[in-house]
Amino acid sequence: MTAPLYVMRAAGPQDIEGFKQLREKAGAGFTSLMLDDAAMTKKLELSAESFASATDQAGPERYLLALEHIETGALAGCCGVKSTIGETPPFFNFRIIREAQSSAAVGRRFDMDVLIGVNDFTGCSEVGSLFVRPEHRVPGLGRALAQSRYLLMASAPQRVREQVVSELRGRVSPEGVSPFWEAIGRHFFRMDFSEADKLSATTDNQFILDLMPQHPIYIDLLPEEARAVIGKCHRDGEGARSLLAWEGFAFSNVIDIFDGGPLVSAQRDAIRTKRESRRLRLRADDAAPLTKRALLAVPSLKRFRSVQARVAADDEGLRVSSATLNALGLASGDEALVWIDDAH
């Protein structure tokens, strides 16, 4: 692999047709893509504005990355980073807490888990929207796409909050039925899961504040089908959860109020790819053996591009192929953010 096959780059309004196709492939429960055409266009416009911004702090910016197949120009996937969540719109979840129950009179003591509504992650940053079209799911590509978000953070850490969270899609059937929603949400919101999911993606979420349960819910009172999916992610998201765990994200006993999927969190500067990345000077070399697998990125949000490529390190920096430089839009002698996979 000397010539990159894919590039991760800033998404914008010009990608609307590609994102429509991603929406069709993603299916129910992938909230960030379940937008109508107007909302999707607005989201892409905000992404372009965020990348072009000169701000030096975390705010309402939304960085959406497009995974592009270099040879065909086809949009193969996406991922994103939200600088700040929970302020507009609010970000509500359930936290699982354990209550001790005891009675000396009858000699009983046991614990019971309950769900309480919280907005504990207000003001954090979020990574999400990780999706690769099935026909492009080649080994290592999903991981590279996920890691590109952390090189984006490394390029402008001041635009990311100290705590970073990720919300994983919960268990939803191919028909769009969520056991967790059927047990709780339907009773409080009086609507189908798909309608609530769409509203959460396209409105200011005031309806959640108005209608969400105001009192603790005892998990033992829920049907077995609902209890079984609490904190479990969709089978298509198992890979994403493993990647997040490898980066240092951990489950924090917080779940999505709609489908019961898990939320995981990590400290920004402890995220593995960001922590291990470094700036190196690149040198074009199409003759040398390039044996190390690496992820490289332009260290500038306004020109951000990232590719997976084979490289060779030496005292002068990093040797890469001309094709790698071309894919990044860099010249020999330029610097790049680099994460080197020492295992490969």
pLDDT at residue 277 tops 70: yes
How many CB atoms lie under 10 A from the CB of residue 50? 21
Residue 336 in contact with residue 299, Cβ under 8 Å? yes
Find the helix or strand (DSSP H, E) in which 87 lies. Answer: none
Residue 336 in contact with residue 300, Cβ under 8 Å? no
**Range in 80-84, 137-141, 225-229, 340-344 the model is least confident about:** 340-344
Which CATH number, 3.30.110.60, 3.40.630.30, 3.40.640.10, 3.30.70.260, labels domain 6-97+115-273? 3.40.630.30
pLDDT at 163: 97
pLDDT at 127: 97
pLDDT tens digits for 186-242?
999 999 998 988 888 777 788 988 999 999 999 999 999 999 999 999 988 898 999
Q: Where are the domains of the chain?
A: 6-97+115-273, 278-341
What one-letter code names the amino acid at 198?
K
- DSSP codes, 159-176: GS-SEEEEE--B---TTS
Q: What share of the chain is helix, strand, coil (3-state, %, to 5)?
A: 35, 30, 35
pLDDT at residue 140 tops 60: yes
Per-residue pLDDT band for 29 (boundaries 50, 70, 90) equals: low
Per-residue pLDDT band for 28 (boundaries 50, 70, 90) equals: low
* DSSP label of 233: B
Buried-exposed string 253-286: b where 16+ CB fall within 10 A, e elsewhere: ebbbbbbbbbbbbbebeebebbbebeebebbbbe
- CA gap 232, 163 in Å, rounded: 22
State in words which class domain 278-341 has.
Answer: mainly beta
pLDDT at residue 306 tops 90: yes
* β-bridge partners, 254: 95, 263
* β-bridge partners, 264: 166, 251
Hey, is 319 helix, strand or coil? Answer: strand
User: Which amino acids are annotated catalytic?
Assistant: 234
Hey, is 277 helix, strand or coil? Answer: coil
Tokens coding 170: 């919960």
**pLDDT, mean of residues 148-159:** 97
Of all residues in the chain, the percent with pLDDT exceeding 90 is 80
- CA gap 71, 69 in Å, rounded: 6
Tokens coding 57: 């702090």
pLDDT at 158: 97
pLDDT at residue 317 tops 70: yes
44 or 208: which leads in pLDDT: 44
- CA gap 32, 23 in Å, rounded: 9
Residue 23 in contact with residue 44, Cβ under 8 Å? no
What's the whole-model pTM score? 0.92
Per-residue pLDDT band for 176 (boundaries 50, 70, 90) equals: confident
Of all residues in the chain, the percent with pLDDT exceeding 70 is 98
**pLDDT, mean of residues 20-39:** 84
CA end-to-end span of the chain = 12
